[in-house]
Amino acid sequence: MRVNCTINGKDMEADDVWEGESLLYLLRDRMGLPGSKNACEQGECGSCTVYLDGIPACACLVAAGQVEGREIRTVEGLADGDKLDPMQEAFVECGAVQCGFCTPGLVVQAHDLIERVPDPSDAEIRESLAGNLCRCTGYEKILDAVRLAATRKAEAK
Amino acid sequence: MEFLRPQTWGDALAAKADDVDVVPIQGGTDVMVEMNFDLHRPGALLDLNPITELTEWEQLPDGTLRVGAGVPYVRIIAELGDTLPGIAQASRTVGSPQIRNRGTVGGNLGGASPAGDLHAPLLAAGATVEVESAEGGVRMIPATEFYLGVKRNSCRPDELIRAFHVAPAAGPQYFSKIGTRNAMVIAVCSFSIALFPQEGRVGTGLGSAAPTPRRAYDAENYLAAELEWDGALDPRVSEEFGRLVSAAASPIDDVRGTADYRKHALSVMARRTLGWAWRDLTAARKVA
């Protein structure tokens, strides 16, 4: 089947999409957007988190056919050209990255959190990131990054 | 395999009637796991997302809430937290934010897993499931008759789940579950209580404690008879309520917990949720 959707602001089209295919496969293997990572394929790890019509979702749990006519924003779509999004910048500065595999999903999920909750408490950060697994960092630097991005965003206003 | 995108509820029912090997998909949080792991290859996926009426809820003229099967958990929490507290509490414990953004009560009902988080509060609150088929029309199935066995519900092959109906909470409602960790985990067991002080009635629901979600009728009847609705909560009544809830369970030993542990945990959760509900009731009495 054919699937038409908007990805990171561009109209995209894919042909010969298998009916049981996930949005994650569509993004990585058809659209050349490998930012969203393929790890568990069961919604447990959050590595494939993307915005679907502005709401974070695990791309592995969305059927490709379900995004017909809809809008997707991936981690590649957060930066403005070469200028990183403040959340991406904060992850770099705080060293919230080790192997990096969980990073794209965490960045998208954390990006959404501070959009909705400009000054999140630690409990709110932890709850919001409860569906994103990281096996390297111990999460402390990730929490630092979210706090830093939230502070910068507030200052920028 | 086919991918069907009906634009109306009528078209969706027609597609389901046409072929029994059609699997409806809304949030995809269960269906896609089966697809990704090659556990199930249906003849067709029936995408219900275009049917926007499934994502709406309304209050019927008699006051009952009718909640579309496609309303995601995140909206139940935000929009129905005050009127359906037990159901909203259970929704808050489902998976992760990403899962709650997409997953729906309709999917929980369709999957009919004994561990589905919403079954216990639906049973406790006395919900009814609205299903429909092109030929048979609408059927209203009380939650107590909905669950038939492990992952089996009483929908006929040509039926789709349309909504659930439930009265706004008439008293305190609580949901509690035990997991091996706080997030992203299937319940070891769960329990839900609903008090109906005006009617002097109690509702319960047990999850992950038997082949199907179920109510603890003896516990409900005992509690309704023994509670002094205008007085204090007798710890002995609480204790016996917990024992009767535990006695209503027929759990299994599995990787998540032993049957003995589940029975013990249920008695503790029953006692605690009753305590929380009673505290609310007492507070409401003081205000009034």
Give the pLDDT band of residue B284 (cuts 50, 70, 90). confident
Asked whether the beta carbons of residue A63 and residue B45 sit closer than 8 angstroms, the reply is yes
A41 contacts in chain B (CB < 8 Å): 33, 36-37
ipTM of the complex: 0.96
Query: What is the distance between the alpha carbons of residues B175 and B227, in angstroms, rounded to a whole number?
Result: 20
Distance, in angstroms, between B186 CA and closest chain A CA?
11
Q: How far is B45 from chain A (nearest CA, A)?
A: 8
Residue of A nearest to B102 (CA): A57
CB atoms within 10 A of CB B78: 11
Output the six-digit token pair for B124. Answer: 């406790």
Return d(Cα A128, Cα A106) in angstroms, integer: 10
Chains A, B: CB contacts under 8 A, how many? 90
CB-based contact A20 B44, cutoff 8 Å: no
pLDDT band, very low/low/confident/very high, at A136 (cuts 50, 70, 90): very high
**Once rounded to an integer, what is the mean pLDDT over residues B223-234?**
95
Distance between CA atoms of residues A146 and A114, nearest Å: 8
pLDDT in tens, A59-105: 999 999 999 999 999 999 999 989 999 999 999 999 999 999 999 99
pLDDT (tens digit per residue) in B31-82: 999 999 999 899 999 999 999 999 999 999 999 999 999 999 999 999 999 9
Cα–Cα distance between B261 and B266 in angstroms, integer?
9
Using a CB-CB cut-off of 8 Å, the residues of chain A touching B29 are 43, 58, 61
Q: Is the pTM of this model over 0.80?
A: yes
Q: pLDDT at position B20, please?
A: 79
Q: How far is the C-alpha of A147 from the C-alpha of A135, rounded, in Å?
A: 21
Angle, helix A103-116 to helix A140-156, in steps of 10 degrees: 40
Shortest CA gap B36–chain A (Å)? 6
